Amino acid sequence: MFVFKSTIGKPNWVRFRTIFACSSMAALAACATSAPPPPPAPQAQVRAEPIVIPARPTPPSGAVSAMTIPSVGSDGIRHTVNYNLTSAQKIWNMRSALNVAALNCRENEYASVLAAYKSLLTSKKRDLANANRDVGKEFRARFGSSARDEQDRYMTQVYNYFALPPAQHQFCTAATQIADEWLQTSPKNLTAFADHSLKKFETVFENFFQSYEQYRTNLAMWDARYGSMPGVSPASYNTNAVYRQAGEETAANSNTPPSK
């Protein structure tokens, strides 16, 4: 600690030494207060997490990306080829469904389908002939001279509907259940059996159509968030119910069966 002592009356060299000491200490104090602050500590580098983009949604059951499916009407029911049928048309469409199943469902697990179809043709031959005759009358009453062509076009749609590839596994499963029921119970009332069978078949296709509509929703949400993939155009859809055979461009809403 510095203790100040008076230099009055002392020799000049003493006073000079004291003044020099005071000046040196003042300079040291000034240097101490003007030293620069230490540099800031280095900041930790924050790495941004990569954005993981999920795979673009794909159609269910291997369906095409721009498939046409039947629309739901104002009555809340999907207007497929089996919508609002007469009793005779229900019988004939049920027969057509089992015909498709007998041709397409050939694995061992579906073995009862062919047996049931053959039994239906044999045991209900007269009922089937009457149904076919009545369906012809209904088309003639509605379409006149073009009835034969309209009926052929409609039945092509019916066969293509039941043969829809993405729904074939579930369709064959339903056909087997219907075939087993036929073989085990031998239904007497063919109209009631046809109505019951078509409802079971329609459940299969309705499930598929709903899953496809969900795919559309998921795809639209994906495209809105992540953008369409290069080279892939957004899917476009037609709400008309169309069942195409090779080279055919016929809309079901222009070839519907006679109404009840």
Classify residue 47: in a domain, yes or no.
no
Gap between the Cα atoms of 34 and 26, Å rounded: 13
pLDDT at 52: 83
In the chain (260 residues long), the average pLDDT of successive 10-residue segments reads 51 51 53 71 78 90 92 96 98 98 96 97 97 98 97 97 97 98 95 98 98 95 79 41 34 45
Classify residue 29: in a domain, yes or no.
no
pLDDT at 51: 77
For the beta carbon of residue 117, count every other beta carbon within 10 angstroms.
21
Whether the full predicted model's pTM is greater than 0.85, yes or no, is: no
Q: What's the CA angle centered on 153, arms 149 and 154, to 5 degrees?
A: 115
Classify residue 136: in a domain, yes or no.
yes
Classify residue 14: in a domain, yes or no.
no
The count of structural domains within the chain is 1
Phi and psi at residue 242, to the nearest 5°: -125, 130
Q: Is the CB of residue 15 less than 8 Å from the CB of residue 7?
A: yes
List all residues 6 or more positions away from 115 whose beta carbon is below 8 Å from its beta carbon: 179, 183
Classify residue 55: in a domain, yes or no.
no
Classify residue 54: in a domain, yes or no.
no
pLDDT at 25: 55
Q: Is 251 helix (H, G, I), strand (E, B) or coil?
A: strand
Classify residue 67: in a domain, yes or no.
no
> For residue 173, what are the domain limits?
81-228+236-254
Classify residue 68: in a domain, yes or no.
no
Gap between the Cα atoms of 239 and 164, Å rounded: 17
Q: What's the CA angle centered on 75, arms 73 and 77, to 5 degrees?
A: 60
